[in-house]
């Protein structure tokens, strides 16, 4: 997007919606409809198996195929996904991280088939693995090899795809994980420093072209409801980025130092209670990143009013798209120079954020940088602590959430009159069809060509060779996502990031301390009645890596006296059952936000019964529609908690009751 220097009307940002579900065919149809409605860019949501490098028929993919995005298992799926869409003219954002190289290889291979000029391909691969270790959980490989994949992509793209952003430094999920504005700024910029240092030190890019590398680094940020602070945060972001790229990397061209960012406003801040209030939340958050011309977003995608309830329908996405279009085309926002230049209030807040962020950047750099701060658990512990403090503020009422902890009286919402039909649902047959399709794809390939491509990838991974060309060869040979990732898993190994729970330190005072004390007494008394200290296993079954809720439950359970077993994300139901039996827990708490609850939760309940632990109550938390909650209770789940159940100490008291009831019945 150009930045005019005269008084002409500014061009609108790239207007996107984050979309994809079920299959490549259905997602392609959705993309075409959205483009016809005036969307100016595509933002591809991949399902969790694709994001974590598994094929649809893998055990860990059960219940996850097509739920939170589109499954892309091979080049055939990518062809279908972009059928009829001019890739040379599209601006495509792909939210993909650990297998980002693979999805970019598939995208480029299809563009090559279609005769698209690589120098015209424009878009972004998210590709920020550091924030995956901290917040979103779709990592695969250890930090070192992951950084190598990112470095190879950046170095390759500078020459081959000069208009492509090979990485989107993503502070979005840091804010969702609890980051303060200063932490969000600091940790995102530390990640950018780690990437740029790695590219520079790899020797793959000549020094005279390093400015081109810096010029293609982009950011993806979150905008919350404190929209004045959020606007100032973006001005601070731009100032810090300009300073770092000039001082640390010697980039002289101001255009290459310009901070380019896209935004999605805060999805996890949307409420299940009175969800119609989410409309005004989304609009206000959008203003935070569009009002300030000197730090305006280059691309915007908005969530929908009902995303706290489930997957949005096309009509819901259209409503969110029209919000952007009204602001961009009906208002006079784009006719003016920066509205806040010279404001002493804004300048003071920006300076405060810059100072706080610089101090935290210095702390992380003294530890050895972002990767070292991930491996030590420092950053994760800080985020878990910060989010716990925010939750305490909401529970106490110090932070007001309209319709949730204040102004709760409401009329029935006509927007929800359709019940379960008010959200998009994925056909249960989707997963079976995807499994059948990927098996048919494997059977129809030239096995020798596939094996040769995989062998070449394996051999290259054992050296310091750039892996993009080997990945492109795999894409053209018909290799699947699971096969590509499987080869690299064998060479690089896998990784489990620190959970941050043990490092979280949160105090309580006033009524909160009194309430926690009362529940702590009940936990102690229940343990005495049962004959051992109460133990809770907190589990994340399947591939859902959004662990913020699970971590907060684990912290609160610990603080009221439970002994907590929490092994992090990405566990099979059988692994959770085995841990529950081995640890002798008194209750199992499962967290599922990906929509796979009807598949993975009953598997845990049935597994406990088969292991003779049917007296252990199972409770579930997540984005679970009322109809599904009823099904889970019928299948043996003791209680279902959703985002409206935000009072965690009260929840702990209810869990104590369930444990005692189960003990007295056994």
**Where in the sequence numbering do the catalytic residues fall?**
18, 172-173, 540, 544, 546
Beta bridge partner(s), residue 93: 43, 124
Is residue 22 within 8 Å of 70, Cβ to Cβ?
yes
Beta bridge partner(s), residue 43: 18, 93
Is residue 69 within 8 Å of 46, Cβ to Cβ?
yes
Cα(561)–Cα(517) distance, integer angstroms: 10
Question: Per-residue DSSP letters for 599-630?
Answer: HHHHHHHHHHHHTT-TTS-EEEEES--HHHHH
Is residue 536 within 8 Å of 563, Cβ to Cβ?
yes
Residues 6+ apart with CB under 8 A from 385: 178, 500, 503, 504, 505, 506
Dihedrals phi, psi of 7, to nearest 5 degrees: -95, 15
| Closest alpha carbon to 142 in 152, 130, 154, 153 | 130
Cα(49)–Cα(61) distance, integer angstroms: 5
Cα(666)–Cα(664) distance, integer angstroms: 6
Cα(124)–Cα(117) distance, integer angstroms: 17
Beta bridge partner(s), residue 105: none
| Closest alpha carbon to 552 in 649, 420, 444 | 649
Pairing of strands 535-539, 639-641: unpaired
Is residue 616 within 8 Å of 638, Cβ to Cβ?
no
Question: Per-residue DSSP letters for 44-104?
Answer: EEBPHHHHTT--TTSGGGTTTTTTSSB---SHHHHHHHTTTS-TTT-EEEEE--TTHHHHH
The sign of the CA dihedral 24, 25, 26, 28 is positive
Cα(283)–Cα(332) distance, integer angstroms: 16
Cα(36)–Cα(336) distance, integer angstroms: 29
Residue 122 parent element (H or E): strand 122-125
Q: Which two tokens stand for residue 94?
A: 């792909």
Q: Which two tokens stand for residue 67?
A: 């739920």
């Amino acid at each position: 997007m150009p930045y005019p220097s005269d008084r002409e009307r500014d061009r609108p940002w790239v207007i996107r919606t984050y979309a994809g579900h079920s299959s490549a065919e259905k997602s392609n149809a959705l993309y075409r409809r959205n483009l016809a409605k005036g969307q100016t860019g595509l933002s591809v949501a991949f399902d969790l198996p694709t994001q974590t490098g598994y094929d649809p028929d893998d055990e860990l993919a059960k219940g996850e195929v097509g739920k939170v995005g589109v499954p892309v298992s091979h080049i055939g799926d990518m062809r279908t996904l972009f059928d009829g869409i001019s890739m040379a003219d599209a601006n495509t954002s792909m939210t993909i991280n650990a297998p980002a190289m693979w999805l970019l290889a598939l995208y480029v291979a299809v563009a090559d088939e279609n005769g698209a000029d690589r120098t015209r391909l424009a878009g972004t691969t998210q590709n920020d693995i550091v924030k995956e270790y901290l917040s979103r959980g779709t990592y695969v490989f250890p930090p070192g090899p992951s950084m190598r994949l990112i470095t190879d992509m950046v170095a390759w793209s500078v020459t081959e795809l000069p208009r492509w952003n090979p990485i989107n430094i993503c502070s979005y999920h840091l804010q969702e994980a609890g980051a303060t504005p200063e932490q969000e700024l600091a940790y995102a910029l530390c990640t950018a420093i780690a990437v740029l240092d790695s590219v520079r030190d790899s020797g793959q890019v000549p020094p005279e072209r390093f400015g081109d590398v810096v010029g293609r680094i982009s950011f993806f940020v979150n905008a919350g409801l404190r929209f004045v602070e959020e606007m100032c945060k973006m001005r601070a972001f731009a100032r810090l980025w300009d300073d770092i790229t000039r001082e640390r990397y010697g980039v002289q061209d101001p255009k290459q130092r310009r901070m380019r960012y896209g935004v999605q406003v805060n999805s996890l801040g949307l409420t299940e209670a009175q969800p119609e209030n989410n409309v005004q939340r989304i609009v206000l958050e959008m203003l935070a990143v569009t009002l300030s011309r000197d730090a305006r977003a280059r691309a915007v995608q908005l969530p929908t009013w009902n995303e706290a309830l489930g997957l949005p329908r096309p009509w819901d996405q259209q409503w969110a798209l029209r919000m952007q279009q009204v602001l961009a085309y009906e208002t006079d926002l784009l006719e003016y120079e920066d509205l806040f230049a010279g404001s002493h209030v804004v300048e003071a807040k920006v300076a405060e954020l810059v100072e706080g962020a610089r101090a935290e950047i210095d702390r992380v750099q003294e530890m050895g940088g972002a990767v070292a701060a991930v491996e030590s658990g420092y950053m994760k512990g800080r985020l878990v602590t910060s989010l716990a403090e925010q939750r305490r503020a909401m529970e106490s009422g110090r932070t007001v959430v309209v319709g949730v902890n204040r102004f709760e009286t409401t009329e029935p919402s006509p927007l929800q009159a359709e019940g379960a039909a008010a959200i998009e649902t994925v056909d249960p047959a989707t997963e079976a069809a995807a499994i059948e399709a990927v098996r048919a794809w494997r059977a129809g390939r030239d096995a020798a060509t596939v094996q040769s491509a995989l062998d070449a990838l394996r051999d290259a991974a054992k050296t310091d060779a750039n892996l993009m060309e080997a990945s492109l060869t795999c894409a053209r040979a018909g290799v699947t996502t699971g096969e590509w990732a499987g080869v690299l898993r064998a060479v690089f190994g896998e990784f489990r990031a620190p959970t941050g729970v043990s490092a979280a330190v949160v105090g309580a005072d006033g009524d909160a301390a009194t309430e926690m004390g009362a529940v702590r007494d009940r936990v102690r008394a229940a343990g005495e009645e049962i004959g051992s200290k109460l133990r809770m296993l907190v589990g994340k079954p399947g591939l859902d890596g959004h662990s913020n809720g699970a971590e907060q439950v684990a912290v609160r359970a610990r603080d009221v006296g439970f002994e907590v077993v929490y092994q992090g994300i990405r566990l099979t139901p059988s692994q959770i059952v085995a841990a529950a039996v081995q640890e002798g827990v008194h209750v199992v708490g499962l967290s599922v936000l990906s929509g796979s609850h009807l598949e993975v939760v009953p598997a845990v309940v049935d597994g406990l019964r088969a292991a003779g632990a049917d007296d252990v109550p199972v409770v579930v938390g997540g984005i679970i529609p009322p109809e599904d909650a009823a099904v889970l209770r019928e299948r043996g789940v003791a209680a279902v908690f959703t985002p409206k159940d935000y009072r965690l100490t009260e929840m702990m008291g209810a869990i104590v009751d369930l444990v005692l009831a189960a003990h007295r019945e056994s």
